[in-house]
Chain A
Amino acid sequence: MTPIELYIHIPFCVKKCLYCDFLSGVFDEKMQRRYVAALCTEIKYAASTHPGCIVSTIYVGGGTPSWLSEDLMDAIITTVKNCFKLDPLAEISVECNPGTLSSEKLNVYRSIGINRLSIGLQSANDDELKELGRIHDYNRFLHTFDLVRKAGFDNVNVDIMTGLPHQTIEKLDRTLNAVTMLRPEHISAYSLIIEKGTPFYEKYKFDAVKQQAGMETEDLPTDELSYRLYKHTMDFLEAKGYKRYEISNYARNGKICRHNVGYWDRVPYLGLGLGAASLFNNVRTSNVRDIYKYVETSEALEKGVSLDFELSSPYFESEEVISKKDAMAEFMFLGLRKIDGIARADFYQMFGIDIEAIYGPVITALRNQGFMDAKEGRLFLTDIGIDVSNQVLSKFLLD
């Protein structure tokens, strides 16, 4: 049995946040039902084309999956259970936003086996929440968090963001205090990225360039402040007992997100739903991004219409076979995102060649510059290496 992970994409949200470039949009319930039906068809199809797999984790992301009514979530998880073999100890996560959960919904979640929730807070300051275009305020988050705990969830993540417009160390402190006080098991702390195609891009694109160039900025924190915000977050969370295990992820008592760690370890995963990406047998694929194309594909499959498709699944929009060199590069740039880095032995086992034969000079150079270190058969980035990890990780790409 090959252990695999499932990612299930729910592309719906109540309102699009101003910084968000994820594949999601506002659709009515009719469309949501039609989509979930299509999703269940894809789950069945994927199970039939991937026999002999056992599902170790499920991650339902979005969008705002918690916005779906509970019967739809039930339908999705039940379909997975019916079609795939599911590890009894599987981690099953769902992304939630404050204001989209009720105790009834949470009870359904519990009953179908969902055992981990990830709540998008981003900030405990209402002015910042408003600036980000979030649908909730801080009080609403507190209420949601209380519901989650009362429903019995003991593996909960809270997302926060640094590098927000006009953010100061004091404002960040308020958020950090407010979150750690509640003792969630896991905290993800992301630096805001100004992504193309978002309203934030139009608003802050010049500032973003200035920030990157180390110049004075108007609204976004300067490069120097954004560095301090990021460092402060790390120091603060570590002091509160949250251990950093990846660039942006912190966990208490070893409650890491197993699903996400799988991405960095290159465990095979199937992405199901609109635009979802998969890695299987060293082939990276991604599903169509047009929601109508997606549902029509499922509906045609259901009707038994024979479909013409060029890639290896009618759902795929792209398919890329990963060369050995690319696989090695991915192993490095994904694995080194983890604080404990990668094991030399794993590299050898995966590729049948000693890591030094491929990356010897790069590793030596990075170690000499103080960006990388080695201990007990493992290679990992130092703190300053992580700070500039884009620079460091790009050195592992092979020509």
Chain B
Amino acid sequence: MDQSKIRNFCIVAHIDHGKSTLADRIIQMTGTLTDREMQAQVLDNMDLERERGITIKSQAVRIIYKADDGNEYIFNLIDTPGHVDFNYEVSRSLAACDGAILVVDAAQGIEAQTLANVYLALDHDLDVIPVINKIDLPSADPDRVIEEIEDVIGLEAQDAPRISAKTGLNIHDVLEAIVNKLPAPKGDSKAPLQALIFDSLYDSYKGVIVFCRVKEGTLKVGDSVKMMATGATFDVVEVGYFGAGQFIPCDELPAGMVGYMTASIKNVRDTRVGDTITHANKPAAEPLPGYKKVNPMVYCGLYPADGAKYPDLRDALEKLQLNDAALYFEPETSIALGFGFRCGFLGLLHLEIIQERLEREYNLDLVTTAPSVVYRVYKTDGTMIELTNPSNLPDPSEIDYMEEPIVEAEIMVTSDYIGAIMDLCQERRGQYISMEYIEETRAVLKYTLPLNEIIYDFFDALKSRSRGYASFDYEMKGYMKSDLVKLDILINKEEVDALSFIVFSGTAYDRGRKMCEKLKDEIPRHLFEIPIQAAIGSKVIARETVKAMRKDVLAKCYGGDISRKKKLLEKQKEGKKRMRQVGNVEIPQAAFMSVLKLDED
């Protein structure tokens, strides 16, 4: 295969700028799919992704393009997620590419994630070609956006294709730009094998399907291969490339190709994403430079609603972890919730997606506890612990001081809302760094913010206070000493460990009061009165009461009603099963999550 006829690239964009639509269109225009096969969004093949309109998992597809120069080209298109939580996944995908298409919305222009993704692509030494999308919109202003790209990012954009991925307008220009402006892969197919794992998938028949980019050498069926980091060795059973929505086996993957391999791999831990595959008998001297190492930033407890499903939850988490190296989990127990797992995520969206996948794909009913960041607790004995579960906070007498993680946030906002967004950052304990106008009506605000102030609902607050005109990106900056307390919630005088959380002492009262108000609405009335209290140590700082239920009667129950009434009683009982018993109070499982969204009521 002629390397010069291969293009490995990805598409990067801010959320909603049309990345997946463009990918669909490219696949359609290159003719590997009939129109009938064309689902609304080919690459987003998980239900969840389609519903949320975002791409969660990076996926790849191989397509054939007959260019204007008369040659056939192989395009390996790797789809990447666009949300800030998934910077890690973006970086994995980028490392498998040689170039990137930057999609910018012709009406909205550059957004925070546009910048973040471009910088990430440039970090990986990718050639970037800009594409102006949505030029069919009445509010499109491609000239302004081109100027913006040149001024703000410094990319040459004068001859950027002006397209509408939705209508298919000028997609041909994009295809030609890929051929002419993106580089072909380099690499020697006779050199020792170096193939980068950028994703993987568990299949119950084939075992782990490893997605890789062959940088050097050739990966063949029957090869004995070694994972350079884990040391595990396997015999390759199958290699192949990605058709649209299917795996297409072939004999070998030479240097420059993107494809997959299977090797009857059962143990998910043996094929770490980011590892380098080499030949067992003729290994490469060094592994490829590793991926950006990413640690979970947000932790929460995940518990099966039905305690008997604990092993199922463990299996499901193991399977998800295979596809998602950023997911971390370890067993833990809670007095209120029983046996479960403390799980680490990249962010709150990542958490919600994992939770929904567990519920939908694995049919698990889950109870989620309040997300927490990783606090550093410095003890009086000179040791330090990293706290991921508020319940494990040592006794205050043993604590010298605590630190919390902080981020540097970049918020891009139109000038009308700068004041409102500055107020928001102020309320969230933000420290102003700078403000810079990138054009007359738009500015980039930079703030240092404690991570625990943004994991709950910062994004929602940002959108509502800017009427949707602000965009946001952040990166970890380290730790900062902070005055933190543990806030406990008592329901009917009993402490509910799963509702405890760490909070800045200055906002503890406010937070506690809102928690109590929210719980009052969430907890159904019982046959007795239920006090709900928020406390710091032994000091109660807020209180609400759920009044007792006085009347709940089925007035009529005759012959024809009995089945129906029985169902009603069953529903009542079933409803109770979905609740958690704390003392003699039943708490709906949703309460554990919904109390977090306190801000916008």
On A, residues with C-beta under 8 Å from B are: 7, 9, 190-191, 193, 213-214, 223-224, 226-227, 230, 247-248, 260, 263-264, 269, 271, 275-279, 284, 286, 318, 320, 326, 329-330, 333-334, 337, 369, 371, 386-391, 393-395, 397
Contacts of A269 in B (CB 8 A): 559
A275 nearest in chain B by CB position? B560
Say yes or no: B566 contacts A330, CB within 8 Å.
Answer: yes
Q: How far is the CB of B304 from chain A (nearest CB, A)?
A: 17
Contacts of A190 in B (CB 8 A): 555-556
Q: How far is the CB of A332 from chain B (nearest CB, A)?
A: 10
Given contacts A214-B525, A248-B556, A391-B572, contact A230 B551 (CB under 8 A): yes
- What would 7 A/B residue contacts be, using CB atoms closer than 8 Å? A193-B556, A226-B551, A263-B557, A271-B560, A386-B553, A387-B553, A388-B552
Given contacts A7-B560, A230-B553, 9 further A-B contacts (CB under 8 A): A230-B551, A271-B559, A286-B563, A333-B565, A333-B566, A388-B550, A389-B552, A394-B569, A397-B566
Interface residues on B, range: 20 to 34
Cβ-defined partner of A247 (8 Å) among B547, B554, B560, B572: B554
Given contacts A330-B566, A333-B566, A369-B527, contact A390 B559 (CB under 8 A): no
Given contacts A286-B563, A369-B527, A391-B527, contact A337 B569 (CB under 8 A): no
Cβ-defined partner of A248 (8 Å) among B555, B560, B566, B568: B555
Say yes or no: A391 contacts B555, CB within 8 Å.
Answer: no
Q: Does B573 belong to the interface (CB within 8 Å)?
A: yes
Contacts of B569 in A (CB 8 A): 333, 390, 393-394, 397
Say yes or no: B547 contacts A214, CB within 8 Å.
Answer: yes
Contacts of A330 in B (CB 8 A): 562, 566
On B, residues with C-beta under 8 Å from A are: 525, 527, 547, 549-560, 562-563, 565-566, 568-570, 572-573, 576
Contacts of A226 in B (CB 8 A): 551
Contacts of B552 in A (CB 8 A): 387-391
Say yes or no: B550 contacts A223, CB within 8 Å.
Answer: yes
A386–B572 CA distance with the chains assembled, in angstroms? 16
Contacts of B547 in A (CB 8 A): 214
Return the 7 tightest CB-CB contacts between A and B, nearest first: A190-B555, A227-B551, A277-B560, A394-B569, A394-B572, A390-B552, A191-B555
Contacts of A230 in B (CB 8 A): 551, 553
Say yes or no: B563 contacts A387, CB within 8 Å.
Answer: no
Contacts of A247 in B (CB 8 A): 553-555, 557
Q: How far is the CB of A202 from chain B (nearest CB, A)?
A: 21
A275–B559 CA distance with the chains assembled, in angstroms? 11
Contacts of A275 in B (CB 8 A): 560
A286–B559 CA distance with the chains assembled, in angstroms? 10
A109–B552 CA distance with the chains assembled, in angstroms? 38
Say yes or no: A397 contacts B525, CB within 8 Å.
Answer: no
Say yes or no: A388 contacts B560, CB within 8 Å.
Answer: no
Contacts of B566 in A (CB 8 A): 326, 329-330, 333, 397
Say yes or no: A214 contacts B553, CB within 8 Å.
Answer: no
Cβ-defined partner of B551 (8 Å) among A7, A193, A223: A223
Contacts of A260 in B (CB 8 A): 558
Contacts of A277 in B (CB 8 A): 559-560, 562-563
A320–B568 CA distance with the chains assembled, in angstroms? 17
Say yes or no: A391 contacts B549, CB within 8 Å.
Answer: yes
A191–B555 CA distance with the chains assembled, in angstroms? 6
A388 nearest in chain B by CB position? B552
A334–B559 CA distance with the chains assembled, in angstroms? 10
Contacts of B557 in A (CB 8 A): 247, 263-264, 334, 337
Say yes or no: B573 contacts A397, CB within 8 Å.
Answer: yes
Say yes or no: B559 contacts A263, CB within 8 Å.
Answer: yes
Say yes or no: A214 contacts B554, CB within 8 Å.
Answer: no
A320–B557 CA distance with the chains assembled, in angstroms? 18
Contacts of B562 in A (CB 8 A): 263, 277, 279, 284, 330, 334
A277–B565 CA distance with the chains assembled, in angstroms? 13
Contacts of B559 in A (CB 8 A): 7, 263, 269, 271, 276-279
Say yes or no: A214 contacts B573, CB within 8 Å.
Answer: no
Cβ-defined partner of A388 (8 Å) among B549, B556, B570, B573: B549
Given contacts A214-B547, A391-B572, A394-B573, contact A276 B560 (CB under 8 A): yes
A191–B551 CA distance with the chains assembled, in angstroms? 11
Contacts of A326 in B (CB 8 A): 566
Say yes or no: B555 contacts A388, CB within 8 Å.
Answer: no
Q: How far is the CB of A271 from chain B (nearest CB, A)?
A: 6
Contacts of B570 in A (CB 8 A): 394, 397
A315–B302 CA distance with the chains assembled, in angstroms? 50
Contacts of A248 in B (CB 8 A): 555-556
Contacts of B556 in A (CB 8 A): 190, 193, 248
B575 nearest in chain A by CB position? A394
A9–B562 CA distance with the chains assembled, in angstroms? 16
Contacts of B568 in A (CB 8 A): 390
Say yes or no: B563 contacts A389, CB within 8 Å.
Answer: no
Contacts of A390 in B (CB 8 A): 552-554, 568-569, 572
Contacts of B553 in A (CB 8 A): 191, 230, 247, 386-390
A226–B551 CA distance with the chains assembled, in angstroms? 8
A7 nearest in chain B by CB position? B559
Contacts of A279 in B (CB 8 A): 559, 562
A391–B550 CA distance with the chains assembled, in angstroms? 11
Q: How far is the CB of A93 from chain B (nearest CB, A)?
A: 12
Q: How far is the CB of A224 from chain B (nearest CB, A)?
A: 7
A392–B557 CA distance with the chains assembled, in angstroms? 15
Q: How far is the CB of B590 from chain A (nearest CB, A)?
A: 15
A230–B551 CA distance with the chains assembled, in angstroms? 9
Contacts of B573 in A (CB 8 A): 394-395, 397
A320–B563 CA distance with the chains assembled, in angstroms? 10
Contacts of B554 in A (CB 8 A): 247, 389-390
A7–B559 CA distance with the chains assembled, in angstroms? 8
A224–B547 CA distance with the chains assembled, in angstroms? 11
A318–B572 CA distance with the chains assembled, in angstroms? 23
Q: How far is the CB of B440 from chain A (nearest CB, A)?
A: 48
The winner among A277, A284, A393 for most chain B CB atoms within 10 A is A393
B557 nearest in chain A by CB position? A337
Q: How far is the CB of A277 from chain B (nearest CB, A)?
A: 4
A284–B564 CA distance with the chains assembled, in angstroms? 12
Given contacts A214-B525, A333-B569, contact A263 B558 (CB under 8 A): yes
A279–B563 CA distance with the chains assembled, in angstroms? 11
The winner among A7, A279, A329, A394 for most chain B CB atoms within 10 A is A394
A23 nearest in chain B by CB position? B560
A306–B404 CA distance with the chains assembled, in angstroms? 80
Q: How far is the CB of A352 from chain B (nearest CB, A)?
A: 22
A395 nearest in chain B by CB position? B573
Q: How far is the CB of A392 from chain B (nearest CB, A)?
A: 8
Q: How far is the CB of B572 from chain A (nearest CB, A)?
A: 4
Say yes or no: A227 contacts B572, CB within 8 Å.
Answer: no
Contacts of A333 in B (CB 8 A): 565-566, 569
A275–B563 CA distance with the chains assembled, in angstroms? 13
Contacts of B565 in A (CB 8 A): 333
A227–B551 CA distance with the chains assembled, in angstroms? 6
A318–B563 CA distance with the chains assembled, in angstroms? 11
A385 nearest in chain B by CB position? B527
A393–B553 CA distance with the chains assembled, in angstroms? 10
Say yes or no: B560 contacts A214, CB within 8 Å.
Answer: no
The winner among A276, A318, A388 for most chain B CB atoms within 10 A is A388
A334–B556 CA distance with the chains assembled, in angstroms? 11
A269 nearest in chain B by CB position? B559
A226–B553 CA distance with the chains assembled, in angstroms? 11
Q: How far is the CB of B148 from chain A (nearest CB, A)?
A: 48
